[in-house]
Structure 1
Amino acid sequence: MSERYRRGVEIMQQLSSGSLEQFLTSRVAEVAPDFARMAIEFPFGDLYSRADLGMRDREIVAIAALATLGHGGPQLRHHVAAATKLGISKAEIVEILMQSAVYGGFPAALNALADCHDLLLEGDRVCPGGCHS
């Protein structure tokens, strides 16, 4: 196991809520094990382990980038779950996703909010600026 991979796995474990094992044994790892390894080594072993930006900020960047580019689904959900684990409030995440409308358009922001609906409502309602039911 390379040092990059070990660092990447440690960081993914710090951020994940049990999804690391799912990723490592996912369909991607089954058909492209080298690519699955690279997906751990480069972003997490190399970039996330750098000292100049904290994990909280890195998760905010990841959420904003994924939402703005319209890449919802499992990747966005993983980063939203990691963000809440790091103490980023659900209200802050809603604001991040709303802000993505400025740069990615309303469809991207609406889809991101819909993709994370259940994660953002777990426990209590999130209503920045007030709920309008």
Structure 2
Amino acid sequence: MRPEFETEQFKKGLKIRREVLGGAYVDKSVASADDMTAPLQKLVTEWCWGEVWGRDTLDRRTRSFLNLAMLTALNRPHEIRLHVRGALNNGLTREEIREVILQAAIYCGVPAALDAMKVTLEVFKEFDAEAAEKK
């Protein structure tokens, strides 16, 4: 691991990030960090995951609800893909995820919600395929 990733805050954030998004994805992101991308990996892992996701006031389910709504509003399909998987890992049901997208459609716009739903269905298929492989 890169020396700049050896802080306690990074380690705390890395643990939470792995638990929410899955170890394979996170480990690949961190391992592929180079001189250009390492500072952003450090920032995201320490502050997003270690500081904000590490707070106790909101549980991870609530944070997942919020992230899905905000990412839908921003129409960020790549991040929606990650956070749908995270939401499932945090215990949200598919029906709850659908409701977030429906709510966002009204307040954020139908085009953004349509994109979010498309990505969500792709993640559900991937998630199901991975679960079938484990059996």
With the shorter chain as reference, the TM-score category is 0.7 to 0.9
Q: Supply the AA of the counterpart residue of 2:118.
A: A
Q: Supply the AA of the counterpart residue of 1:61.
A: L
Quick one: which of 4, 8, 32 aligns to 1:3?
8
Find the aligned partners of 1:22 and 1:107 in 2 and give their Cα distance: 31
Find the aligned partners of 1:12 and 1:51 in 2 and give their Cα distance: 15
Give the Å deviation of 1:103. Answer: 2.0
User: Equivalent residue for 2:101?
Assistant: 97
Q: Is 1:68 the equivalent of 2:73?
A: yes
Give the Å deviation of 1:69. Answer: 1.1
User: Equivalent residue for 1:24?
Assistant: 30
Give the Å deviation of 1:64. Answer: 0.8
TM, length-normalised to structure 2: 0.82
Q: Number of matched residues?
A: 120
Find the aligned partners of 2:122 and 2:76 in 1 and give their Cα distance: 17
Give the Å deviation of 1:32. Answer: 2.0
Gaps of 5+ in 1: 124-133
User: Equivalent residue for 1:81?
Assistant: 85
Gaps of 5+ in 2: 1-5, 129-135
Find the aligned partners of 1:25 and 1:78 in 2 and give their Cα distance: 18
Moved over 4 A (4+): none
Flag the structure with higher helix content.
2
Deviation sequence 1:95-132 (CA, Å, 0-9, x none): 11121112210000001111222223554xxxxxxxxx
TM, length-normalised to structure 1: 0.83
Q: Supply the AA of the counterpart residue of 1:113.
A: M
Find the aligned partners of 1:119 and 1:34 in 2 and give their Cα distance: 28
User: Equivalent residue for 1:127?
Assistant: none
User: Equivalent residue for 1:128?
Assistant: none
User: Equivalent residue for 2:3?
Assistant: none
